[in-house]
Amino acid sequence: MQKGALPSKNQFGFFEIRLESIGGLGANVAGKIIAEAGVVGMGFNGSNFASYGSEKKGTPVSSYIRYCDANKPIRINSPVTEPHILGVFHENLAARLPITAGVKSNSTVVINTDKSPQEAREYLRLSGGSVITVDAIKIAYEEKVRMNVVMIGAITKAMEFMDKEAMREAIKETFGKKYKNQLEANLRGFEAGYERVAIDQFDEDGRFPFIPFNETKSEWGYENAPIGGIILEAGSNVVKNNQSSRQGKIPLFHEGRCIHCGMCETTCPDYCFKFEPKEDSKTGKTLMFNIGLDYQYCKGCLRCVDVCPVEALTEELEADHEIEKMTAKL
């Protein structure tokens, strides 16, 4: 197997990668595969770990990969604060989390989006650096694979020092045993992610500031928490935004087919549907009519599509629809 040399290292001698994602998109597995390709395939020393919440799907996930020279020990286990490569698996994360913290002009951001690199730079408000965009959801949909292999392909493109064959071997090692039937499709998804990228480079032109990485600090601790751990402020879901939990699919409401049975409303875990009282033209009685759903609260679980008895809800690609306009009508 071909061995390589790292192109750049930080002051501690590491080349570092950070993946920002949400649970269910496979960033944790992607981190393991990328680390394995560097260690087994390229002969680096390396490490990987991930941090995530208690929910299996929908909550933010970060995965960290470090490479260094083979003879150097790794005695650091903290998050990657200034990544050479940042992989963004879900662009909506940028709306609620400082995922680009620590990205510098020598960093490369690889993002799953249908935007151009210029548009992605504006959206992410990057101070500078290289941007690689890949429509990983679309490719995953076409190849019938999870989007993490597509992102691995695009991240491999960003790692010019990485032997593509080493990454393919790491994918085979991970998916070949457990999901043998899916291996060819996964390798096709990887190749498509590697090829179907758009790349651009941006100087630090002062338009957006550099965002330093800050560790999240809890507001409450044992010294200042209210006695008994009482929660003094009532919670509310009104400001909650579940959009970043979606994985490229949405339920689409077809009002003309709806019989207003309420099955979707009782099934939806996030109370997305809006019903209004209206006079029924046949009976003259006032009944509750389904007028659609608010996509701010929809996490894309598609349970409503499963339960609808008349296909008034269908599974669609989010990119094909103007969500904001549909929600604004409600």
- The residue ranges that bind ligand SF4 (CB under 6 A) are 251, 258-264, 267-268, 270, 272, 290, 293, 298-304, 307-308, 310, 312-313
Partners of 277 in beta bridges: 288
The nearer residue to ligand SF4, 151 or 302, going by C-beta atoms, is: 302
Helices marked H in 196-262: none
The nearer residue to ligand SF4, 173 or 318, going by C-beta atoms, is: 318
User: Cβ of residue 286: shortest distance to ligand SF4, in angstroms?
Assistant: 17
Rg (CA), the chain: 23
User: Cβ of residue 98: shortest distance to ligand SF4, in angstroms?
Assistant: 26
**What's the CA angle centered on 221, arms 215 and 223, to 5 degrees?**
135
Rounded to 10 degrees, the C-alpha dihedral 183/184/185/188 comes to: 120
The nearer residue to ligand SF4, 190 or 273, going by C-beta atoms, is: 273
Is residue 87 classed as helix, strand or coil in its secondary structure? strand
Is residue 3 classed as helix, strand or coil in its secondary structure? coil
Q: Cβ distance 4 to 11 under 8 Å?
A: no
User: Cβ of residue 259: shortest distance to ligand SF4, in angstroms?
Assistant: 5
User: Cβ of residue 242: shortest distance to ligand SF4, in angstroms?
Assistant: 7
The nearer residue to ligand SF4, 279 or 306, going by C-beta atoms, is: 306
User: Cβ of residue 95: shortest distance to ligand SF4, in angstroms?
Assistant: 18
Q: Where are the beta strands (DSSP E) in the chain?
A: 15-22, 45-52, 60-68, 85-88, 108-112, 129-134, 198-202, 249-253, 273-279, 286-293, 313-317
The nearer residue to ligand SF4, 90 or 299, going by C-beta atoms, is: 299
If one counts every other C-beta atom within 10 angstroms of the C-beta of residue 44, the result is: 24
User: Cβ of residue 247: shortest distance to ligand SF4, in angstroms?
Assistant: 11
Q: Cβ distance 287 to 297 under 8 Å?
A: no
The nearer residue to ligand SF4, 122 or 294, going by C-beta atoms, is: 294
